[in-house]
Amino acid sequence: MTHGTSATARTERSASASKTYAAFLIIGLVLLIVAPAFFYPIFIMKLLCFALFACAFNLLLGYTGLLSFGHATFFGGAAYFTAHVVKEWGFSPELGILVGVVGAALLGLVMGYVAIRRQGIYFAMITLALSQMFFFFCLQAKFTHGEDGIQSVPRGHLFGFIDLNSSTNMYYFVLAVFLIGMVIIWRFINSPFGMILKSIRENEQRAISLGYSVARYKLGAFVMSAALAGLAGGTKALVFQFATLTDVAWQMSGEVILMTLLGGIGTLIGPIFGAGLVVTLQNYLATSQFPVTIVTGIVFMVCVLVFRRGLIGEFYASRLGRKLGFEHRR
């Protein structure tokens, strides 16, 4: 009897959660659509790129339990690939981004294949080492132009007729890319494959004894995460019209971890807010005398001490969040 009631309560709560989700989703979408009227478009585009990057990273950390310290490789690598094919080979923007995504996925396959059998800190260290190798490759390779990076990448015409040099057009293109990326992540988590990932995170030994080759499922999630990070990186290259070493450096791998932790690990939208916070701070402090890294460092420490679940994670766990029907797991 008690089980019965707790189960119905759970279904009711999740039903009310999906209503709240729908409401928040619509508000969020409206805000994003009207945003360029109030903010500098480039700033929101940057924010959206980093938000997608953080959500892709969270797919791995939050839903698979793997902490990668080499995600800059996929973000920055894709930026280089997209910038190169668009500028040097005259690819259209949509094709250029696709090249970035495929390139990032291939890099993910290689890095994941080497690292996936290691656990915890060893996994993090191997991904860091491999991404440092990729950094030095980018420093030395001809097509990346070393310290200069690939400059003045043309944005071109989307599908041949939408001029992306107009910042309004570019903004809605980036918004569309961001939403497509989010839908892919959402579907990925809530799919038969996602169920197996969940079971591996819950009890890896049992998953093995049920005949699942755990390493392959983790590799699948790693490649998907890399590809989506590539989607964000390739898009960013078109927004700023350049690709540089900053995006493949280890600091970028650290930054995305920070964004994800600030927003809330294992929540679908948490990393968006984490990315928003970090990018906004960087933006406002860039012009002041105050060093950015100190502020983000302090914010990070406060977060770890006070909001251990991250901004959105804490909101879900709060009284208001629970009243609205959210349930924070773990």
Partner 1 sequence: MAVSATAMNEEPRVVLSARGLSKSFGAFRAVNRVDLDIHHARVHALIGPNGAGKTTVFNLLTKFLQPTEGTITLLGTDITKTPADKVARMGLVRSFQISAVFPHLSVLDNVRIALQRPNGLSTQFWLPTSALNRLNARADELIEAVGLKRERDALAADLSYGRKRVLEIATTLALDPQVLLLDEPMAGMGQEDIGTVSSIIRDVAKTRAVLMVEHNLSVVANICHQVTVLQRGEILAEGDYATVSQDERVRLAYMGAEEA
E strands within the chain? 157-158, 162-163
Token pair 């585009």 is at which residue?
A: 45
**Minimum distance from residue 61 beta carbon to partner 1 (Å):** 17
Whichever of 164 and 228 has its CB closer to partner 1, that residue is 228
**Minimum distance from residue 209 beta carbon to partner 1 (Å):** 5
Per CB under 8 A, residues contacting partner 1 are: 3-4, 6-8, 10-11, 187-188, 190-196, 198-199, 202-203, 205-214, 220, 224, 329-330
Whichever of 213 and 246 has its CB closer to partner 1, that residue is 213
- Rounded Cα–Cα distance for residues 60 and 56 (Å): 7
Give the pair of three-digit tokens for residue 20: 């709240």
148 Cβ contact list (under 8 Å, min separation 6) = 244
Whichever of 88 and 202 has its CB closer to partner 1, that residue is 202
Determine if residue 145 is left, alpha or beta; phi over 0 gives left, psi from -120 to 50 gives alpha, anything else beta. Answer: left
Strand-pair partners of 240: none
Residue type, 181: G
User: Is the distance from CB of 63 to CB of 330 less than 8 angstroms?
Assistant: no
Residue type, 84: H
**Minimum distance from residue 188 beta carbon to partner 1 (Å):** 5
- Rounded Cα–Cα distance for residues 27 and 24 (Å): 5
E strands within 95-254? 157-158, 162-163
Angle (nearest 5°) at CA 189 between 204 and 128: 65
Whichever of 145 and 198 has its CB closer to partner 1, that residue is 198
Whichever of 212 and 300 has its CB closer to partner 1, that residue is 212
**Minimum distance from residue 313 beta carbon to partner 1 (Å):** 15
Whichever of 9 and 139 has its CB closer to partner 1, that residue is 9
**Minimum distance from residue 120 beta carbon to partner 1 (Å):** 20
197 Cβ contact list (under 8 Å, min separation 6) = 63, 64, 189, 217, 221
Whichever of 171 and 188 has its CB closer to partner 1, that residue is 188
**Minimum distance from residue 138 beta carbon to partner 1 (Å):** 30
DSSP label at residue 75 = H
**Minimum distance from residue 230 beta carbon to partner 1 (Å):** 17
